[in-house]
Structure 1
């Protein structure tokens, strides 16, 4: 799980750097914030799931589904906060940061298939 979180954070930084080089600092910040809106809740969910696995009873499905609901709700809340608070938002870079972060799972998937 830690590798996935680190991969997502690396993908966020990479897309933010590319966006900043192409569109300037506001685009880079927009991509960074978009990626972090997804990466932070994913990291917290992974940490919570890891802790629940270490408990004597192990993880149960209810813990997983509650954690997934909280992850989705916090992702949406962070996106709303960014959209309402960051006035120089570049929508293309913001969405690119989100998409790259969410699709970074495919990098590990294809790495394990080969």
Structure 2
């Protein structure tokens, strides 16, 4: 699970670097923010799952609560970026979010 989270953060920084080289600093920052909007909630969700599996008698409800918190964090981070970063490049932002969201496929098909 830690490899997937590290891969997502690495993908966010890599997409931000590519976006800044191709389209400038504003696109790079937008891509970084988009990638982090996906990677940070996923990291919290992974930590929640990890902590709930160590307790005996864990409930499946913990998974659903964690998923709800992850989605709420995604929405909150999207809103914060939209409000506080006026030079947002939407294409870079959404593209980075999707790349980080699907980056687990790299590890899935690796072995």
TM-score norm. by structure 2 comes to 0.97
What is the match of residue 55 of structure 2?
A: 55
Deviation at 1:56, TM superposition (A): 2.2
Superposed counterparts of 1:1-114, under 5 Å: 1-57=1-57, 59-112=58-111
Give 1:96 deviation, angstroms: 1.0
Q: For residues 60 and 32 of structure 2, what CA distance do their matches in structure 1 show?
A: 32
Deviations 1:78-99 (A, max 9, x none): 0011011101100110011101
Aligned residue pairs: how many?
Answer: 111
Q: CA RMSD in A?
A: 0.8
